[in-house]
Chains A and B, each alone.
Chain A
Amino acid sequence: MDPNNNIENTQENVDLIDAYLLGNLDSDQLFEFKQRMDLYPDFRLMVNEQKTLMQGIEEGNLRNSLNDFHTEIKDEPHKKWMSREWLALAASILVLISVSTWAFLNSGNSPEKVFTSNFKPDPGLPTTMGTASDYEFYYGMVNYKRKEYAEAINRWEPLYAANPENDTVVYFLGVANLAQGKARQAEKYLQMIREKTESVFYEEIRYYLALSLLKENKIEEAKNVLEQSESSANIVLLKELKTL
């Protein structure tokens, strides 16, 4: 065995080291591998470097996932976002927007205008995160963010079929369909989850559902969806709908 030949940073060596690091070598291979590390310090060095690289990649991804995990922690103080300060801020924004809306409306208004001025797809979820079981979901998210809505929908539909209770999948299916102009389909998805008060997307679901209905010219239904909504976006949209 020519040691120099074996210590080269070839894909073959990298694959072998991966197999060792991921515990995929059988006992004979493992014995041989360890012997090689003992014999050739350069090889050992290469193994250590690759191990560090792997650890960095793992830790970086875990770090990214932690905030994702955190958003799933539900606790009571979180609901306190309707504080007095917040309401004051929302009220002032509302006044400001009402004035501009009024100005806008005076120049003539239509359901189409309200729709186009309000519809902007949800920015989506970070794609460097995600869990092992839902890579299909976040790869769909990569498509979604590239505005490849049809592909995103193709990836998410089987996920929805497998688990119709997942409100995140249903929500993004709704928004992606609406972004494609398929208001009816969007409405179908968003109606399914409109009563999910525990969903982190609760207010957004109502927002996009109202927009779907608006696009289908169901203005009264759209207004009903937004009644009693608490987010400023929903309140503003309702105001606009009332002028139609």
Chain B
Amino acid sequence: MHTVVAIKQVPDTTNVRINPETGTLIREGVPAIINPYDLHAVELAVRLKERFGGKVTVITMGPPKAAEALIECVEQGADRCILITDRRFAAADTLATSYVLARAIEALQEEGPIDLYLFGLQAIDGDTAQVGPGVATRLNVPLISYALHIESIDPETRVAVVHRKTERGIEVLQTRLPALLTVLKEIAPVQRAPLANMIRAAHYKPEVWSSTDPVPFDQDQIGIRGSPTVVGRAYTPAPRQAGDIIRLSELGLQGCVKRALQEIQASGAVDLARMIGANRPAGGNGGERL
């Protein structure tokens, strides 16, 4: 079974800081990590390889530094990693990114059959969740986004049954393979890498593809030229105005509780009176149903 996983190296957005004077992002010193969802996609691919044999190929588009992320994938158990890097790819939006990844995958298809494509649901720096569906559309393979669990997968009959999480519950979908899944973290818990992988990764050098070699990408569809969307303006959101702080030790419990409920009601955010009325025990509309 051959699985291709597309990953992204992202800034650890939990560590992003804003320059208080200029209001801009401080990108220096922000650690780069593998997009958390993608880790689970790689893990799933490795689990499938353990079960069915075959191989795991990981591709990424990014700066040269993204090689670090690929080497981590080798530690996880990936067999082959490809770094697609070129200054001409810079400033790509999701349309241009899905073009590059789809075109790269087509080049891999020429080398041999691929059974499954895995993407993380979304990257934590952009949170768009658009690249996986875009690639599936370009490759004309079935898409299952928000994949939560693989109930069954059979590379022989080329059929998989996948659970897809929606707001209302879980859809159980049967798909033909190859298919493209964008995965949630629950799809496969990340396990500790075996030592052999670590040793292999220590010497591993990812393949590097440019915008012309070995795949001649259409230069009009990559980078800023291939991107219909542009950032018109970027700004730091105004910090939320903090409200009053009251002290239990000063106002007492009654005072604090009354003040809290009054302010909630006065804010107009929620109609507390109606909400409480609607959720009387007799109303049977308790929180457990939500």
- Do the two chains belong together in a single complex? no
Q: Which residues of B are interface residues toward A (Cβ below 8 A)?
A: none
Q: Which residues of A are interface residues toward B (Cβ below 8 A)?
A: none
